[in-house]
């Protein structure tokens, strides 16, 4: 077996710990944490924003650091920071402390996610890249599934402070596993004397050359496709985070569903998304990133519109299924970034793309929380998400169509 597959499956666990535990778990813990700390929905949204601010602070910088010093070191250090942030969130006694610890977790999350999502671009040729990144993205989906099923059990078992033990458990797991991820990751095939997986003859990128931050930025900034991808990605960043942050609160506090029922819907998102990442990755390899993006945003629009305009258990489950199917936009963005600038520059390119994405993502929870506090319902927030998803499909029309390539 080519070592590229070890990289892909190690990446699955990196993303599970950094993104699944580091970010997605907050949506499940939010109702319990909000009641204990006596938070408003706006404050609960701001705590999520704190995590996203940390992500914003390091996502672009982390991508360029990975280009300069190699993804392996940056990913491993950032994963350790993520674990520390998760663990100390359990000690929160106030809004301010929770905001700071979630911000630290976001810093680690940003340093892991961007370099890891693009590392397959250095190991797989373009025609195999989408599927490989889809495997890495399964980590996000497993994170949704595990947190949706297990965290409510943990919190119910330990009572009022059960949410604290949930943070302790996730933090400890991530801290321990950061060492094992460092042991398995490698920066490129050349480090162990291999060519890229799928390369024919001399078609490989096994010997990247050192590049300064400034040189890397100039190379990326001169690529028009990168700026188009920014416009596409920003619509996802703003809309998906509102849905994901507040869907459990909507179901439990507004609809009256039990925490176990809402958790099962949250877990369904992760289960469906496991297959969605592979589906969209392979689909984009076949038809191109442009048409894959158009399709995935239209599916997202339906997922957001269902709870905005209809109610009922069937509607909520269908919305979760549709959202899970389309929960793979980062896969397409990472693959498209690698296509545009190559494997070595892919982390920096995705980092730059993610900068504007992270800004929109930072604003999303606060806007969604304010809409709820002002109107008394999340319905209008989901309507806004629908409009942004439609805009994403329209922006995707600007992307390059698929071109034949041997790489």
CATH no. for residue 11?
1.20.1250.20
124 phi, psi to nearest 5 deg: -120, 140
Residue 204 lies in a domain: no
Residue 194 lies in a domain: no
Q: Is the pLDDT assigned to residue 236 strictly greater than 90? A: yes
Give 407's pLDDT tier (boundaries 50, 70, 90): very low
Listed residue (48, 74, 260, 238) closest to 152, CA to CA = 260
Q: Is 212 left (phi over 0), alpha (psi -120 to 50) or beta?
A: beta
Give 78's pLDDT tier (boundaries 50, 70, 90): very high
Q: Is the pLDDT assigned to residue 205 strictly greater than 50? A: no
CA distance 60 to 48: 19
pLDDT in tens, 252-311: 888 888 877 887 887 788 778 778 878 888 888 888 889 999 999 999 999 999 988 888
Q: Where are the alpha helices (DSSP H) in 376-403?
A: 379-396
Q: Is the pLDDT assigned to residue 115 strictly greater than 50? A: yes
- Residue 392 structural domain: 3-186+215-396
- Number of structural domains in the chain: 1
Residue 195 lies in a domain: no
Q: Is the pLDDT assigned to residue 201 strictly greater than 70? A: no
Q: What angle do CA 97, 139, 239 make, to 5 degrees?
A: 65
CA distance 15 to 229: 22
DSSP calls for 38-97: T--HHHHHHHHHHHHHHHHHHHHHHHHHHHHH-HHHHHHHHHHHHHHHHHHHTT--SHHH
CA distance 199 to 219: 24
The pair of three-digit structure tokens given for residue 16, joined into one six-digit string: 């599970």
CA distance 107 to 173: 18
pLDDT in tens, 334-389: 888 878 877 667 777 877 887 888 788 778 888 988 898 899 888 999 999 999 99
pLDDT in tens, 213-233: 566 677 777 788 888 999 999
**Residue located via tokens 């258990």:** 313
**3-class secondary-structure state, position 377:** coil
Q: Is the pLDDT assigned to residue 1 strictly greater than 80? A: no
User: Residue 197, CB half-sphere, CA atoms under 13 Å: how many?
Assistant: 21
pTM of the predicted model as reported, rounded to 2 decimal places: 0.71
Give 211's pLDDT tier (boundaries 50, 70, 90): low
CA distance 236 to 389: 7
DSSP calls for 283-338: HHHHH-HHHHHHHHHHHHHHHHHHHHH--SHHHHHHHHHHHHHTTTHHHHHHHHHH
Please tell me what DSSP assigns to residue 17: I
């Amino acid at each position: 077996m080519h070592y590229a597959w070890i990289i892909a499956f190690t990446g699955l666990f990196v993303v599970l710990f950094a993104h699944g535990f580091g970010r997605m778990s907050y949506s499940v813990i939010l109702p319990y944490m909000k009641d204990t700390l006596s938070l408003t929905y706006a404050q609960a949204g701001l705590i999520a924003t704190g995590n996203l601010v940390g992500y914003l602070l390091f996502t672009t910088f982390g991508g360029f650091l990975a280009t300069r010093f190699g993804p392996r070191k940056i990913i491993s250090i950032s994963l350790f920071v993520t674990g520390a942030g998760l663990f100390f969130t359990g000690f929160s006694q106030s809004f301010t402390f929770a905001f700071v610890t979630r911000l630290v977790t976001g810093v680690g999350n940003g340093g892991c996610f961007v370099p890891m999502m693009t590392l397959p671009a250095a190991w797989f040729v373009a025609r195999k890249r989408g599927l490989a990144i889809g495997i890495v993205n399964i980590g996000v989906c497993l994170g949704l599934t595990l947190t949706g099923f297990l965290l409510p059990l943990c919190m119910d078992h330990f009572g009022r402070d059960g949410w604290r033990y949930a943070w302790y458990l996730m933090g400890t797991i991530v801290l321990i596993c950061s060492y094992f991820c460092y042991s398995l990751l490698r920066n490129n095939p050349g480090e162990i004397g291999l060519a890229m997986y799928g390369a024919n003859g001399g078609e490989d990128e096994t010997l990247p050359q050192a590049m300064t931050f400034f040189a890397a930025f100039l190379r990326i900034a001169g690529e028009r496709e990168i700026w188009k991808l920014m416009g596409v990605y920003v619509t996802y960043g703003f809309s998906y985070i509102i849905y994901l942050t507040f869907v459990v609160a909507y179901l439990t506090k507004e609809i009256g569903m039990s925490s176990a029922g809402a958790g099962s819907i949250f877990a369904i998102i992760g289960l469906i998304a496991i297959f969605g990442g592979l589906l969209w990755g392979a689909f984009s390899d076949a038809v191109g990133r442009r048409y894959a993006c158009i399709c995935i945003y239209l599916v997202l629009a339906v997922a957001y519109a269902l709870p905005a305009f209809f109610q009922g258990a069937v509607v909520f489950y269908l919305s979760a299924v549709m959202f899970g199917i389309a929960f793979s936009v980062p896969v397409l963005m990472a693959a498209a970034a690698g296509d545009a600038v190559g494997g070595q520059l892919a982390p920096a390119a995705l980092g730059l793309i993610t900068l504007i994405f992270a800004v929109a993502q930072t604003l999303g929870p606060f806007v969604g929380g304010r809409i709820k506090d002002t109107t008394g319902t999340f319905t209008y927030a989901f309507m806004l998400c629908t409009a942004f998803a439609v805009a994403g499909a329209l922006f995707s029309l600007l992307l390059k169509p698929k071109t034949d390539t041997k790489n």
